[in-house]
Amino acid sequence: MGSENFNYLSTVCYQRAGRQKKHVCGCEGRGLQGRAVKQDFFAKVFLMTLCAAYAHPIEEKVVAEYREEKDHKHAQKINRTNALSMTQDILIGVVIKQKYKQALEAFDKIVASTREIVRPGRSFERRKRPKKTYSMNYKRL
């Protein structure tokens, strides 16, 4: 086996090793990213479940209040988007500072005061707009 063959084989092996290294690094990166996506998904599911548990008594109260008072034209329900945001905000008070009563009372007060009117058969279609892209400076930590 001559030196020419050896040079050729070493070049081929070096190129193949480089491609394998890129592939392995790419897979590791996707694995970490996949794990982060999975973790974000389960965190979101946990947050939504916690929000549903916190908001259920308030929603029952709003529905019962509507049934008692018949002077309302439309039924009302709690604003779920606001409830989800408030759940995110009170987690610091509940988990870290352990001020359960104050945090849950504030949650109850705000969620009960922000209601939506249920309008069945609404004919007015809202204009669809493209989603705004926000700067990363405004992202919650």
Residue 10: both structure tokens together? 């070493």
Would 32 be classed as within a structural domain? no
Would 102 be classed as within a structural domain? yes
pLDDT band with cut points at 50, 70 and 90 for residue 120: confident
Q: In angstroms, rounded to a whole number, what is the distance separating the alpha carbons of residues 58 and 48? A: 16
> Tokens 């049934």 correspond to what residue?
67
Across the chain, mean pLDDT equals: 77
Would 138 be classed as within a structural domain? no
Summarised one tens digit per residue, pLDDT across range 35-94 is 787 888 888 888 889 999 999 999 999 888 888 877 777 788 888 889 999 998 888 888
Task: Give the chain's length.
Answer: 141
The pLDDT of residue 128 is above 80? yes
pLDDT at 32: 57
Would 94 be classed as within a structural domain? yes
Give the structural domain span for 103: 44-119
Would 124 be classed as within a structural domain? no
Q: In angstroms, rounded to a whole number, what is the distance separating the alpha carbons of residues 128 and 116? A: 20
pLDDT mean over 105-132: 83
Q: In angstroms, rounded to a whole number, what is the distance separating the alpha carbons of residues 34 and 28? A: 10
Q: In angstroms, rounded to a whole number, what is the distance separating the alpha carbons of residues 84 and 14? A: 54
Would 65 be classed as within a structural domain? yes
Closest CA to 53 of 96, 97, 94, 8: 94
Residue 42: both structure tokens together? 């389960």
Higher pLDDT pick, 11 / 26? 11
pLDDT band with cut points at 50, 70 and 90 for residue 24: very low
- Is residue 92 within 8 A of residue 50, CB to CB? The reply is no
Would 38 be classed as within a structural domain? no
pTM, entire model: 0.60
> Tokens 């916190």 correspond to what residue?
54
Number of domains comprising the chain:
1
Would 110 be classed as within a structural domain? yes
pLDDT at 23: 45
pLDDT at 27: 45
Instruction: Give 104's contacts (C-beta < 8 A, 6+ positions apart).
Output: 54, 90, 94
The pLDDT of residue 21 is above 70? no
